[in-house]
Structure 1
Amino acid sequence: MATIKERLDNLRNHIQQPEFLEGKGLSNEVNIRIFCYPASDEMVVRQFIEQVTTDQTIACHLVECNLYKTYLSLCDDIDITDAIPDMEESDGKTFLLEQLHSAIGEGEFIEKIQYEPHKPGDILLLTGVGDVFPFMRVHSLLEALQPHFSDIPILVMYPGTFDGNYVRLFDKLTPNPYYRAFNEI
């Protein structure tokens, strides 16, 4: 079995290929790919993301969206960031999570990360999936993103497993159904 560094090197090569960028060979399915890795490799993956998103020689344009940073930005936008710790202390985690879910959903994420025009060679790179849990679930977000990013590939860096039918964050949590993506490398 290949090491994480070998898999990431293969990923770097693969995302530059026309077949990847154009979604060829996907039977007219949406071009959503999930790169799964053990959560213990998170720091190696983060270093790779930093390198590949700043690499001027790469033959594609990675548009990184760190979901956790996006979430924090959305909290700032509605001016609730400073109130979150007090709300958790006074009302509890369950109530806080319910309130946050009602204030920030997939629509807000899409509005925040949408950009125009999408150009040939663009790839939407979703990172921070583990960090944003439980505030956002990637399977729900991917379902909502499809119509807005159908013309470019979406690549999810996923600390967990995907068996083609279910995503399982950290390879420990309850699997969530998602079938419109393809495993990458």
Structure 2
Amino acid sequence: MTFEERLDAMELEIRKPIFRKNRGRANEVNYWVFDYPPEKELEVRARIERMQQKNATGNDDFKLVVFDLYDYIIDTLEKEGFLDQCYRFEDRRGIDRIVKAVGNLLCVNDDDSLIVRHIEENTPENAIVFLIGIGKCYPLLRSHKVLNNLSQSFGRVPVVLFFPGTYDEQSLILFDELKDDNYYRAFRLVKP
């Protein structure tokens, strides 16, 4: 299957009424991963943008809601007045310390994660959620943390994580080497 055919199959799959019944394969929460080669990022973004434009015409019986997690992190840091401080802090303390500080600000490891709260508050009923920007977030935010936090409290609509790497339904592999093997409750949306 070509990459364009995979994108077509993904779009067809989410349009099926059964997809929006909010049950995964084993009657689990409806979480999906669309994995793709990182070099196809621009094609994925363009397809999602076209899907949003089509959905905005109101012809679908669902609302497509797209959350760019990177944009959310940057907006939050700017709103809190921490973005410039992060640059200076990284120079003095290194990226690992920034990752910890941003994680603490966003409550990434807590039950009351700001990202999860933002998604919950901005997702209408009868929607499909797309999570994008995972590659841009690395290492500030790990995809398995988002999915784990969401699956604890948010299960009313299907969620699709667009992952620039490989997902084998046991681990998420970013850049062919960085393995996020802490998440296994999502299903692969379209196999290559």
TM-score after normalising by structure 1 = 0.90
Tell me the residue number matched to 2:116. 110
In structure 2, give the amino acid aligned to 1:160.
G
Name the aligned partner's letter for residue 75 of structure 1.
L
Q: What aligned pairs does 1:10-29 form with structure 2 within 5 A after superposition?
A: 10-24=9-23, 26-29=25-28
Whole-angstrom CA distance in 2 between matches of 1:117 and 1:97: 27
Shift of 1:3: 1.4
Query: How many percent of aligned residue pairs carry the same amino acid?
Result: 29
Q: How many residues matched?
A: 183
Matches of 1:163 and 1:117 in 2, distance apart? 28
Classify the secondary structure of the residue corresponding to 1:177. Answer: coil
Report the Cα distance in structure 1 between the residues aligned to 2:123 and 2:163, rounded to whole angstroms. 26
* Equivalent residues of 2:77, 2:83 under 8 A apart: yes
Residues 1:88 and 2:94 aligned together: no
CA contact (8 A) 2:33 2:163 kept: yes
Which segments of 5 or more consecutive residues in structure 2 lack a partner in the other structure? none
Structure 1 residue ranges without an equivalent (≥5): none
Distance in 1 separating the partners of 2:76 and 2:130:
19
- The verdict on how the C-alpha distance between 1:116 and 1:178 changes in structure 2, with shifts beyond 3 A counting, is same
Give the superposed CA RMSD.
1.7
Q: Is 1:98 the equivalent of 2:103?
A: no
- Post-superposition, which runs of at least 4 consecutive aligned residues in structure 1 deviate over 6 A? none
Structure 1 residue 108, shift from structure 2 partner? 1.5
The corresponding residue for 2:73 is 71
